Amino acid sequence: MREVSVIGAGMVRFGKYLDTSMKVLGRDAVNNALKSAGIEAKQIEAAAVGNAMAGLITGQECVRGQVVLREMGIGGIPIVNCENACASSATAFHLAWLYVASGMYDVVLALGMEKLYHADKKKSFAAIGSAVDVELMRELVAKMNADQEKLRAERAARGEAPSGGAGESRSMFMDFYAASARAHMQKYGTTKEHFARIAVKNHRNGSLNPYAQYQDVCTLEDVLNSPVVAEPLTRLMCSPIGDGAAATILCASSIANRFTAKPVKVLASILSSGTDHGPDEPDVVTRVANKAYSIAGVGPQDVNVIELHDASAPAELITYEELGICKPGEGGKLVDEGATEINGRVAVNPSGGLLAKGHPVGATGVAQICEVFWQLRGEADKRQVKNAKIGLTENGGGMVRGEAAAMSVHVFGV
């Protein structure tokens, strides 16, 4: 296998684009990546395109990548469409990496794109909620709503406002994250304030990122007092839906200096899936991360910057532990120490993460890679992590039997 480098990255600001087509979002992201790489579209030899929800939101199925890329004059090359829930474009990047690493092509595009906003918000939630075993979905929703009904009664007794049902006023995945958060709190003594401080950090980071959907700083009180979504999650602890696109250009490292003086090497690209395992066996994040560390020849202690899948604030804290940057149960301690701030021991989600940058699911994986690319090249401006040499992205998609259905971990270095 050949060594692979990323030579260009580009995206559009994530946000609400009801009147902008996916063709336009994808085109702008690709053009930004081409400009970053200093190449022309005709130099792209193959493309992998990630998208998860277009069929359910806009009705566009089957040939999404071809439809978007043809609009900007890119055709006559292999174009592979990747649908893998929230890991769709991380999967596309993995396939683009394989194309180059195998020696089949020298210059390959990885694009992620999504339009989630719809006039009927229930349609958006239903689309996101389809990334589970649908035969079990009704049973899952009924159980989650029963759990929340009990918590709602407790809140009502305290005179607090109620929250809506799973899949109606929120994504059902927030109920999964809420259940994991409650279990972590019970087992390790983690507090709601720990989760809230992660949200504060990520929104502060997002305020420094011109591509972030939300660029407002918020206080601990703002987070804790925002509307409850699913106990203990408040609205500001949850990632929003969004529209957007992100793109990267990969090439063989042996020719990278033809295009840029600052290539970023792909040290490891791992894609896997959840599996049935015992309670004492590694979860999917740990299993995939350990494989990535082994291939990259680094350990969690060597990583300077991480973009991880913080679809909720508790998810970020739990992923600290799963990635090995702290021991199980010590995620709260990491937050207390400020270790994951931009100027901390290991900066986590300097882009603002999904909480502030937004989560157009099919674009998220490549957007994470864009951020790490800019960080390792020293191009992240006000959110720059000092002396960043090793970066990692973690992106999960869907859920089957309580574990991510798809999981991707990439490690990068300069």
DSSP assignment of 81-150: EE-BTBTHHHHHHHHHHHHHHTTS-SEEEEEEEEE---SSHHHHHHHHHTSB-HHHHHHHHHHHHHHHHH
CA distance 68 to 114: 11
CB-based contact 55:29 (threshold 8 Å): no
Residue 144 lies in a domain: yes
Q: How far is CA 157 from CA 146, 149, 228, in A?
A: 17, 12, 15
Position 191 in a domain:
yes
228: three-class secondary structure by DSSP: strand
Q: Is residue 228 part of a domain?
A: yes
Tokens linked to 265: 């090497």
189 lies in some domain: yes
pLDDT tens string, the chain, 414 residues long: the values are: 999 999 999 999 999 999 999 999 999 999 999 999 999 999 999 999 999 999 888 899 999 999 999 999 999 999 999 999 999 999 999 999 999 999 999 999 999 999 999 888 777 877 887 888 877 766 666 666 676 676 666 666 666 655 555 444 556 788 889 999 999 999 999 999 999 999 999 999 999 999 999 999 999 999 999 999 999 999 999 999 999 999 999 999 999 999 999 999 999 999 999 998 888 888 999 999 999 999 999 999 999 999 999 999 999 999 999 999 999 999 999 999 999 999 999 999 999 999 999 999 999 999 999 999 999 999 999 999 999 999 999 999 998 888 899 999 999 999
Range of the domain at 187: 129-237
For residue 165, give every residue at least 6 positions away whose Cβ sits within 8 Å of its Cβ, in sequence order, or none: 141, 145, 148
The answer to whether residue 158 sits within a structural domain is yes
Say which of 86, 218, 238, 326 is annotated catalytic. 86
Residue 200 resides in a domain: yes
Amino acid, res. 68: V
Beta bridge partners of 134: none
DSSP assignment letter at 170: B
CA 318 to chain centre: 15
* Residue 188 belongs to some domain of the structure: yes
Q: Which of 94, 118, 359, 410 does the annotation list as catalytic?
A: 359
- Structure confidence at residue 170 (pLDDT): 56
Number of domains composing the chain: 1
CA distance 318 to 374: 26
The model's pTM is 0.92
Q: Is residue 358 part of a domain?
A: no
Residues 176 and 166: their CA atoms lie apart, in Å, by: 10
Catalytic: 194? Answer: no
Q: Is 359 a catalytic residue?
A: yes
| pLDDT in the model for residue 154 | 65
Give the pLDDT confidence score for residue 167 in this predicted structure.
Answer: 46
Which residue is it, tokens 């490549």?
366
